[in-house]
């Protein structure tokens, strides 16, 4: 199972040779009957469902997804990827990466992480690691809600779009992984001038195995993507997969030598080319590989844009990050750790303590209601959480749409919550912000010396969007103050 964060076609193009062809030729050939490996590209939700149903045996995913799967279902990391980044004509082989928070260099209003409050930000998705969760942790450490303190959070699904969007003024702040700015091209196809941006909170002294990290990062470094086996896979199969991936780089190095030798044969027209090519093949027999395997490994490495695989790194600190940001929690009833994930953005929103998630209708229209544009193709959040009581109360008059204010909470306690001319009707709507199941509410309407009691329940409401909402008619024929006790 491969997390296809750039789409199905890209997953096949980049990793089918590695996980289907190469593993079948190496690991698969060691068993009787031989094992056939296949690549299955999956989105974030599909990855979890296939793991749960044991439709896949191994996973290649970002560390955030791996940590979640290991916590919920059990998974053993086998190898970590050594990614190859080509920036400015120079190659970098890296086993870790970080997250960057940046704005335009001429933006004098934003100079540190705390300055993000009240400004728009862009990241790829709420489940992204290098363009989302890494930076969310920094905002929390600065005392900011990563979803509620920015004026808008736009999810673009594309990091190049973020870099160009910040440059063009569409977003004030961008979240991308390290080296993304350096690799982004402008509209003319030229590398973007990095001096046009400033990095917020760039950390000093970042190293990998004692070597300086070559890119600026606002966050600590976290391990690269990894390959892991699921708990139902036999140990002997997992071990052979691990051995094969660790050996891939050596096979590929022989493939490079073989390709150079064969190229020289083709260039020298004065010699017997068939004999020359055979000499090339014979020369690698002492390298514990074959011409076919060497060429396959080289193709796998080239297509995947990586340098190789190494013994697995520790993903413990990443797990700490997920717990701090609330993306992984323990269910109190079962004691099982679960990660936040959902096919719908609304269901993945995590509100800070003391605030409640607004209704789905209000969240979806939140940016429009505040006159903040959300470009086509993006998903956007504008202050999705609100400070509120457990139960908010809103007055609803006959000539008004039954919808609470999109920013303010309901009526304060002991405040005038509505006024109406004698003889006209007034209705109140209540919203259970904690979204408790089958909640019963008792409403006492105190009119002068009499009290009317209403028992309200949401059990009969079938529409899931409104199942935590209640309403009641408080119309009376007397003048004066009516007290509502809930």
Instruction: Calculate mean pLDDT across residues 8-21.
Output: 96
> For residue 202, what is the enclosing H or E element?
none
- Residue 204 burial by Cβ neighbours in a 10 Å radius (0-12, 13-18, 19+): exposed
Could you give the count of Cα atoms lying within 13 Å of 428 in the half-sphere of its Cβ? 26
Phi, psi of 58 (to 5 degrees): -130, 155
Question: What is the three-class DSSP state of 92?
Answer: strand
| pLDDT at res. 90 | 86
Single pTM value for the model: 0.75
CA separation for the pair 434, 343 (Å, rounded):
21
CA separation for the pair 468, 439 (Å, rounded):
8
Greater confidence (410 vs 348) lies with 348
Given pLDDT bands bounded at 50, 70 and 90, which one contains residue 398? low
Instruction: Calculate mean pLDDT across residues 277-283.
Output: 66
Instruction: Calculate mean pLDDT across residues 98-116.
Output: 96
CA separation for the pair 375, 476 (Å, rounded):
47
| pLDDT at res. 286 | 55
Could you give the count of Cα atoms lying within 13 Å of 431 in the half-sphere of its Cβ? 24
Q: Over 70: is that where the pLDDT of 456 sits?
A: yes
Asked if 129 and 67 count as a contact pair (C-beta separation under 8 A), the reply is no
Phi, psi of 352 (to 5 degrees): -70, 160
Strand positions, DSSP E, 248-326: 306-311
- For residue 321 the two structure tokens come to 């990050």
Instruction: Calculate mean pLDDT across residues 142-161.
Output: 92
Least confident of 36-50, 74-88, 173-187, 393-407: 393-407
Given pLDDT bands bounded at 50, 70 and 90, which one contains residue 285? low
80-105 residue pLDDT tens: 999 998 877 888 999 999 999 999 99
How does DSSP classify residue 448? T
Q: Over 50: is that where the pLDDT of 256 sits?
A: yes
CA separation for the pair 388, 438 (Å, rounded):
20
Given pLDDT bands bounded at 50, 70 and 90, which one contains residue 280? low
Question: What is the three-class DSSP state of 301?
Answer: helix
- What percentage of residues in the chain have a pLDDT greater than 70? 90
Q: Over 60: is that where the pLDDT of 32 sits?
A: yes
Instruction: Calculate mean pLDDT across residues 99-124.
Output: 96
Per DSSP bridges, beta strands 2-3 and 41-42 are parallel
Which residue is it, tokens 């990660």? 339
Which residue is it, tokens 């780089």? 249
| pLDDT at res. 459 | 44
Instruction: Calculate mean pLDDT across residues 309-319.
Output: 93
Given pLDDT bands bounded at 50, 70 and 90, which one contains residue 486? confident
Q: Over 90: is that where the pLDDT of 460 sits?
A: no
**Average pLDDT of the chain, as a whole number:** 87
Instruction: Calculate mean pLDDT across residues 243-259.
Output: 90
- For residue 234 the two structure tokens come to 């036999």
Instruction: Calculate mean pLDDT across residues 293-298.
Output: 92
Greater confidence (338 vs 217) lies with 217
Cis peptide before 410 (omega within 30 of 0): no
CA separation for the pair 214, 211 (Å, rounded):
9
Instruction: Calculate mean pLDDT across residues 405-425.
Output: 72
160-179 residue pLDDT tens: 999 999 999 999 999 999 99
């Amino acid at each position: 199972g491969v997390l296809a964060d750039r789409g199905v076609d890209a997953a096949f193009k980049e990793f089918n040779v590695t996980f289907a062809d190469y593993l079948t030729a190496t690991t698969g050939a060691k068993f009787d009957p031989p094992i056939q490996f296949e690549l299955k590209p999956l989105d974030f939700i599909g990855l979890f469902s296939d793991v749960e149903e044991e439709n896949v045996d191994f996973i290649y995913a970002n560390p955030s997804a791996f940590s979640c799967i290991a916590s919920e279902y059990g998974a053993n990391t086998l190898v970590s990827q050594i990614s190859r980044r080509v920036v400015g004509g120079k190659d970098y082989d890296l086993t870790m990466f970080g997250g960057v928070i940046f704005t335009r260099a001429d933006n004098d209003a934003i100079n540190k992480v705390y300055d993000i409050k009240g400004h728009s930000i862009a990241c790829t998705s709420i489940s992204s690691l290098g363009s989302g969760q890494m930076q969310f942790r920094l905002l929390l450490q600065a005392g900011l809600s990563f979803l509620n303190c920015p004026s808008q959070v736009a999810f673009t699904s594309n990091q190049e779009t973020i870099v160009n969007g910040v440059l063009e003024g569409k977003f004030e702040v961008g979240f991308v992984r390290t080296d993304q700015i350096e690799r982004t091209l402008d509209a003319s196809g030229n590398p973007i001038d990095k001096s046009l941006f400033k990095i917020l909170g760039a950390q000093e002294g970042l190293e990998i195995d004692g070597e300086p990290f070559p890119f600026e990062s606002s966050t600590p470094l976290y391990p690269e993507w990894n390959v892991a086996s699921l708990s139902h896979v036999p140990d002997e199969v997992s071990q052979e997969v691990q051995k094969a991936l660790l050996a891939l780089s050596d096979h590929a190095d022989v493939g490079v030598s073989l390709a150079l030798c064969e190229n020289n044969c083709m260039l020298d027209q004065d010699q017997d080319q068939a004999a020359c090519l055979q000499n090339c093949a014979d020369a690698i027999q002492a390298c514990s590989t074959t011409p076919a395997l060497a060429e396959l490994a080289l193709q796998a490495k080239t297509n995947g844009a990586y340098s190789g695989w190494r013994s697995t790194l520790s993903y413990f600190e990443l797990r700490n990050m997920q717990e701090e940001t609330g993306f992984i929690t323990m269910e109190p009833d079962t004691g099982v750790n679960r990660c936040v994930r959902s096919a719908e953005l609304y269901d993945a929103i995590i509100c800070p303590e003391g605030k409640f998630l607004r209704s789905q209708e209000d969240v979806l229209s939140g940016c429009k209601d505040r006159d903040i544009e959300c470009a086509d193709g993006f998903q956007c959040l504008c202050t999705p959480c609100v400070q509120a009581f457990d139960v908010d109360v809103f007055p609803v008059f006959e000539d008004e749409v039954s919808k609470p204010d999109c920013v303010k909470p309901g009526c304060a306690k002991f405040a005038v919550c509505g006024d109406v001319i004698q003889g006209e009707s007034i209705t109140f709507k209540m919203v259970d912000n904690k979204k408790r199941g089958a909640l019963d509410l008792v409403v006492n309407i105190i009119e002068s010396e009499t009290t009317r009691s209403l028992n309200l329940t949401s059990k009969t409401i079938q529409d899931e969007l409104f199942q935590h909402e209640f309403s009641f008619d408080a119309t009376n024929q007397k003048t004066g103050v009516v007290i509502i006790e809930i």
